[in-house]
Amino acid sequence: MDRAKWNRLQGKGWKEGTVAEFLDLSPEDAAYVELKLQLSEAVRSLRRQSKLTQVQLAERLGSSQSRVAKIEAGDPSVSLDLLTRSMLALGASKKDIARAMAR
């Protein structure tokens, strides 16, 4: 965005900040959200590397394709348990899961 436009927006009360600031998240909540997003990305990556469709992963999990889509999109309704089970269903080791969490 050009500087003139940014100055106009600031003049109207716009502020620059992080998502955590906007949502008033504690550092712990922000870290939890980030962890879930990292695992969601890892599930998508592993599924694609395994050349599986969302339907095929859903069958492995005993779930639905729409649920797998939510897993991969980082939907807030997806639990850490389901994210972890998804990675295990894709053949991830404990170390793989730990690496995904540490990114």
For residue 60, tell me if it sits in a domain: yes
Domain residues for the domain of 77 are: 28-102
Q: What is the mean pLDDT of the chain?
A: 93
Tell me the per-residue pLDDT of 6-25, one tens digit each, with 9 for 90 and over: 888 888 888 788 878 888 88
Rg from Cα positions in the chain: 18
Nearest C-alpha neighbor of 82 from the set 102, 57, 59, 61: 61
Q: What is the mean pLDDT of residues 55-77?
A: 97
**CATH number of 90's domain:** 1.10.260.40
Work out how many domains the chain is built from and give that number: 1
pTM summary value:
0.80
Residue 18 lies in a domain: no
45 assigned to some structural domain: yes
In a domain, 15, yes or no: no
4 within domain boundaries: no
Q: Where are the alpha helices (DSSP H) in 1-103?
A: 3-11, 19-22, 27-49, 54-61, 65-73, 80-89, 94-102
Q: Is the confidence at residue 103, as pLDDT, over 90? A: no
Q: Which two tokens stand for residue 69?
A: 């889509």
Residue 6 covered by a domain: no
